[in-house]
Amino acid sequence: MSLAKKVKTALDETRLLILGAQVLFGFQLNGVFQEAFADLSHSTRLLSCLGQFLMTLSVALLVAPSMQHRIVEGGDDSNRIHRTTTIYAGWALLPFEISLGIGAYEVFDHLYGRWVAFVMGTVFCLLAGFFWFGLEAVVKFSMGEKGMREAEKPAPLSTKIEQMLTEARVILPGAQALLGFQLTVTLARSFEQLSEPVKLVHVAALCCVGFTVILLMTPAALHRISFAGEDTPAFFRLGSGFVIAAPAFLAFGIAGDLFVATYRAAGSQDLALVVAVASTVLLALFWFAIPLYIRRGYRAK
């Protein structure tokens, strides 16, 4: 398989993983505003906050390869970006696995009590760990090491554009899911009970995510309407700019809604602020700081 095909496949697989992450992330954020959530114990509500933060980490890791491909490699295929995508996708499954167990714990705690919840949450974690890590280790060991470095060469413009549009599709589902949560939660009774400043944070986050969706859909609209589907350097530069800019607004949107959800779950403004700031730093680190640092190192050589 050619290096270009390997990178494309890796990005497509990352898109599949983030589709699963967005469903659980949406449940976690939306569940906080359900009426029965208030009946859960304080410790379970704190676990919910932890699950949300872990899912944010998972999303950060899943989007990071696309940002590195765009910022560091400029859309070119390399063994480094293929290896980075593999590593990040693998690590993203670890917080995903724990967050999945926490989600199961919340559900079974509400339905059947703490001990059943503990058992089922543990079972979900162990099953995910076996199928996502254990099985892969067994298969890799039985097959032996077959990895090899492919020859690197500049990717054709058509391939760069195809992968740029794929990267937009990697980020877009999570943004759409978050926007859907943000729009529907404003109609919940529990949302009306929040203070006006907290509501304003949610509205600001909603605007950020809405703008993210607009930016991510713009390259496809440009390609079809302005360029009639033709692959040109001008479209590649424009589209890449939109794909790079969109996650900045998505990061603020995620951080804002984590603040609102944590405040609602834990009842602590200080904890909500810590979670929001930590998530902002985390997303900025993986999506911008690390890629820019790597690119700077490349240019220094």
Give the Cβ contact number of residue 260 at 10 Å: 25
CA 239 to chain CA centroid, Å, is 20
Instruction: Give the pLDDT score at 301.
Output: 63
Domain residue ranges of the chain, discontinuous segments joined by +: 3-300
Question: Among 219, 174, 253, 177, which residue's Cα sits nearest to residue 75?
Answer: 219
Instruction: Give the pLDDT score at 68.
Output: 92
CA-based diameter of the chain, in Å? Answer: 60
Question: Among 130, 177, 139, which residue's Cα sits nearest to residue 30?
Answer: 177
Instruction: Give the pLDDT score at 21.
Output: 83
The predicted model scores a pTM of 0.91
Instruction: Give the pLDDT score at 283.
Output: 96
Question: How far is residue 32's CA from residue 202's CA, in Å, rounded to a whole number?
Answer: 14
Instruction: Give the pLDDT score at 291.
Output: 95
Instruction: Give the pLDDT score at 8.
Output: 79
145 burial (CB, 10 Å; 0-12 / 13-18 / 19+) is exposed
Instruction: Give the pLDDT score at 17.
Output: 84
Instruction: Give the pLDDT score at 258.
Output: 94
6: enclosing H helix or E strand: helix 3-31
Question: How far is residue 258's CA from residue 243's CA, in Å, rounded to a whole number?
Answer: 23
The series of mean pLDDT values per 10 residues for the chain, 301 residues long, is 78 80 81 89 94 94 92 89 91 94 94 95 95 87 67 80 86 82 87 92 95 94 92 93 95 94 93 96 96 84 63
